[in-house]
Structure 1
Amino acid sequence: MIQVEDWAEIRRLHRAEEMPIRAIARHLGISKNTVKRALATDRPPVYSRPLKGSAVDAVEPQIRELLKQTPTMPATVIAERIGWDRGMTILKDRVRELRPAYLPVDPVSRTTYQPGELAQCDLWFPPVDIPLGYGQSGRPPVLVMVSGYSRIIAARMLPSRMTGDLIDGHWQLLTGWNAVPKMLVWDNEAGIGQGRVTVDFAAFAGLLAVKIFLCRPRDPEAKGLVERANGYLETSFLPGRTFSGPGDFNTQLERWLHVANRRIHRTLGTRPIERWEADRAGMLALPPVDPPRWSRFFTRIGRDHYIRVDTCDYSVHPLAIGKKVQVTTSIEEVIAILTPGGAVVARHARCWAKHQTITDPDHARTAAALRGEYRHHTAAQAARLRATAAADRLVDVEQRELTDYDRVFTLIEGDAGRNETGDGVS
């Protein structure tokens, strides 16, 4: 059998050079019949080895009969039924070839999304230690959100996975989009809901007027878009980067996403940013007011004028001691407000480290001054009490003049024979 190059040369010599068959055979050193066969076909020669029989051919009718009755029967069971005593590899290969003819057709539909239809959400835990301050480091969660239609990615690192922080993280990402998808897809995250949406997140969804869809357990394909985005962040954003803290992480992440959302998306064949306007046009508008802080609680300030949020303690103005305050938290800050009245008695930046005490210098100075005043007041009050007690121990006695005694004893002249009542001296 001649090679493809020889076949091509034969056709060239005959058509382009107009050489006769005999001359071509003499030139290439091949027979005239080979030249004739090469000129008789327009397809290059292909070598094919003659097929040999297989040991499975003898039992193929039995295999077909078993597959006809039970299309999903395993190859090991088929081998047992037909009494197969040879190698399993050739039998499994034949069963694999025959089985599709007996299975019902189950075509897979391609998932498509309409503009503004949904966004998939997830928490990504980057495998890198982030400095959190006070000599601590950790791996805080990153809230990742991917729009279904445009594949636009938004992400932000959060202090924790508690419901309040998740709500605040959603609000910040949606504010960046300036629109709200009609549905948010989540897995069974404890802060969102497991089987049922938590009360606080349901209230947040009501404010946004969106539907929260909770995936079934162990069903990662239901939110494959955001799962792939997590992998994309881990392989394309993290390598070679260092971070000085959560704020630096979010700053670098925002800059990187600005570039990443302008790259060609392999599945879409276009840039996500080019589909974004149509996607956002199909979304809902943001509510006209900011959401209330769902991460809040009420407490009465004791003599130790501190409040605890997560694992950290934050100082409160000492003048609020004994009064009731409302504490609200967000990703950035912790605020304490008097109730009633509305006066802000504490405002601190959120501490991402664990088990720390955060003190406002003004609160510390005021507390020191109040302690000094209290000690001075206590000392003065104690002195007054001591003086009063000493005075209470004295008895008032009438003090007579000495001349009265002189007259009584007739040491001087005068009406000494009478006392003050006019009676005679006895």
Structure 2
Amino acid sequence: MDDWGKIRQLFSAGQHSKREIGRLVGVSRGTVDRALESDRLSKYQRAATGSSFDAYATQVRVLLAVTPRMPASTLAERVGWLGSASVFRDKVALIRPEYVPPDAADRLVHEPGRQVQCDLWFPHEPLPLSHGQEGMPPVLVMTSTFSDFFQAIMLPSRTTSDLLGGIWSLLQAAGAVPLRLTWDNETGIGKGKLTERTAAFAGTLGTEIKLLKARDPESKGMVERRNRFFRSSFMPGRHFASPQDFNEQIADWLPLANARHSRSRRARPIDLIEQDRAAMRPLSPVPPDVLFHNTVRLPRDYYVRVLSNDHSVAPAMIGRLVDVTASLDTINVTHNGMNVSSHEREWARALTVTDPEHVGQADVLRRQFQSLRHHRPQPTVAFVETASLASYDRLFGVETGTELRDLDVVA
């Protein structure tokens, strides 16, 4: 390499002939000519020699012509190969494309406002949920296929009401509804068929919720890649005090992530989202029903169970039917349309959530009940006069007293 560079350097200076250059470098005139004719440094190349595979190549080609996708291990067995398995696989991989027809794939063109892919992502590290519990709640991720703009929010659970509540929350933040929301077979959304509540949700918004076939991650590859992006770019070095803290941190980070340049789109998602949302539908004037609903008769212990947790209710409603609703943030109990109790939504599970005011109200009602029971007046027995039946005996001429005495004598 040094000789080649020195030869070209001396010749470019124009002060020496080729013969002098050869003498100065210590090479022949022919070597000088070859160095000047080549633009690249010459390197040693070993002459090609035959391979042990060559003796089996014809048989392999005959088998591939009939069965192009026959595994290399089966081919080796059929032709009697006794050499290295890796060498055989490499040789077969070189000639197999000549017999397998190419599997062409068209490039997808995504129209503005057409589709948003949805998926759930789970943090790989647990975070505090309150009351000493930890967990990894699901994170709803929604990615637009046109702009690659994405949104995310952590949810308390994977129930239908929480999933629909999360979708509605992100759509409200976007201010628009795409023509289609794509989901895989998430139980809360539907498996093979949308749940009744999900179908009603889609109808209210005027959109389509498309369920993909099982084991088909490529159909929502954009949102799947976002899940890996969260793991590699958002999570490292972060600590979360609660799910609310997680949502606050991810809300601050999302504008930065959406401002990154997309190589495939040759633009930033934040620059394309306006065109994307302009082609979407406006939000429905009637908000969809995304709340958890239940109607129960309040028992004596004045607690109702809502999504694995027990919550106290005003004890004055004991024995009455109450309507329980739960959103992502709050739990409300109403009776005849009037709110009687409210609680903040807890992310931990198997809790008993008690309002101190309800305990005080129950104590007052209990003392009132006991006071009424101790001072209750004693019941009186009414005297009812009964008529003598002897008048009926005289009316029908029955002498019961004489007959009974005669019967006693006979007995």
Does TM, normalized by the shorter one, top 0.5?
A: yes
- How many Å separate the matches in 2 of 1:89 and 1:258? 49
- How many Å separate the matches in 2 of 1:235 and 1:41? 47
> For the structure 1 residues 330 and 54, does the alpha-carbon distance in structure 2 shift closer, same or farther, using more than 3 Å as the test?
same
- How many Å separate the matches in 2 of 1:327 and 1:241? 37
**Paired residue secondary structure (1:298):** strand
Alignment of 1:323 with 2:309, yes or no, is no
Which runs of no fewer than 5 residues in structure 1 stay unpaired? 394-426
**What is the aligned residue count?**
383
Give the alignment partner of residue 58 of structure 2, picking from 57, 61, 70. Answer: 61
Alignment of 1:39 with 2:36, yes or no, is yes
Give 2:152's aligned residue: 155
Give the alignment partner of residue 344 of structure 1, picking from 339, 360, 363. Answer: 339
Superposition map of 1:405-420 within 5 A: none
| TM-score when normalising by structure 2 | 0.86
- Report if aligned partners of 1:62, 1:82 keep a CA contact under 8 Å in 2: yes
Give 1:415's aligned residue: none
The alpha-carbon deviation at position 271 of structure 1 amounts to: 2.3
Moved more, 322-331 or 287-296: 287-296
Give 1:14's aligned residue: 11
- How many Å separate the matches in 1 of 2:306 and 2:136? 19
Greater than 6 Å deviation, 4+ residue runs? none
- Report if aligned partners of 1:293, 1:329 keep a CA contact under 8 Å in 2: no
> For the structure 1 residues 204 and 86, does the alpha-carbon distance in structure 2 shift closer, same or farther, using more than 3 Å as the test?
same
Deviations 1:151-192 (A, max 9, x none): 222111111111111111111111111112221111111111
**Paired residue secondary structure (2:53):** helix
The alpha-carbon deviation at position 314 of structure 1 amounts to: 1.5
Root mean square deviation, CA, Å: 2.3
The alpha-carbon deviation at position 327 of structure 1 amounts to: 1.2
Deviations 1:274-294 (A, max 9, x none): 211112112221111322244
Paired letter, 2:34: R
Paired letter, 2:238: R
The alpha-carbon deviation at position 389 of structure 1 amounts to: 5.0
Which runs of no fewer than 5 residues in structure 2 stay unpaired? 384-411
Give 1:371's aligned residue: 366
Alignment of 1:355 with 2:341, yes or no, is no
- Report if aligned partners of 2:162, 2:290 keep a CA contact under 8 Å in 1: no
**Paired residue secondary structure (1:308):** strand
> For the structure 1 residues 50 and 281, does the alpha-carbon distance in structure 2 shift closer, same or farther, using more than 3 Å as the test?
same
The alpha-carbon deviation at position 128 of structure 1 amounts to: 2.4
Moved more, 86-95 or 214-223: 86-95
**Paired residue secondary structure (2:192):** coil
**Paired residue secondary structure (2:358):** helix
The alpha-carbon deviation at position 201 of structure 1 amounts to: 0.8
- How many Å separate the matches in 2 of 1:224 and 1:118? 13
- How many Å separate the matches in 2 of 1:135 and 1:260? 32
- How many Å separate the matches in 2 of 1:133 and 1:86? 63
- How many Å separate the matches in 1 of 2:326 and 2:163? 12
> For the structure 1 residues 292 and 67, does the alpha-carbon distance in structure 2 shift closer, same or farther, using more than 3 Å as the test?
closer
The alpha-carbon deviation at position 96 of structure 1 amounts to: 1.5
Give the alignment partner of residue 232 of structure 2, picking from 219, 235, 244. Answer: 235
The alpha-carbon deviation at position 200 of structure 1 amounts to: 0.7
- How many Å separate the matches in 1 of 2:315 and 2:86? 81
Give 2:257's aligned residue: 260
The alpha-carbon deviation at position 93 of structure 1 amounts to: 2.4
The alpha-carbon deviation at position 213 of structure 1 amounts to: 1.7
- How many Å separate the matches in 2 of 1:326 and 1:101? 69
The alpha-carbon deviation at position 379 of structure 1 amounts to: 3.3
Paired letter, 2:200: A
The alpha-carbon deviation at position 18 of structure 1 amounts to: 4.4
Moved more, 304-313 or 355-364: 355-364
The alpha-carbon deviation at position 302 of structure 1 amounts to: 2.9
Give the alignment partner of residue 73 of structure 2, picking from 53, 57, 76. Answer: 76
Superposition map of 1:21-420 within 5 A: 21-339=18-336, 342-380=337-375, 382=376, 385-386=377-378
- How many Å separate the matches in 2 of 1:335 and 1:125? 28
The alpha-carbon deviation at position 91 of structure 1 amounts to: 3.0
- Report if aligned partners of 2:204, 2:287 keep a CA contact under 8 Å in 1: no
The alpha-carbon deviation at position 30 of structure 1 amounts to: 0.8
Paired letter, 1:378: R
- How many Å separate the matches in 1 of 2:59 and 2:289? 71
**Paired residue secondary structure (1:55):** coil
Identical columns (%): 45
**Paired residue secondary structure (1:376):** helix
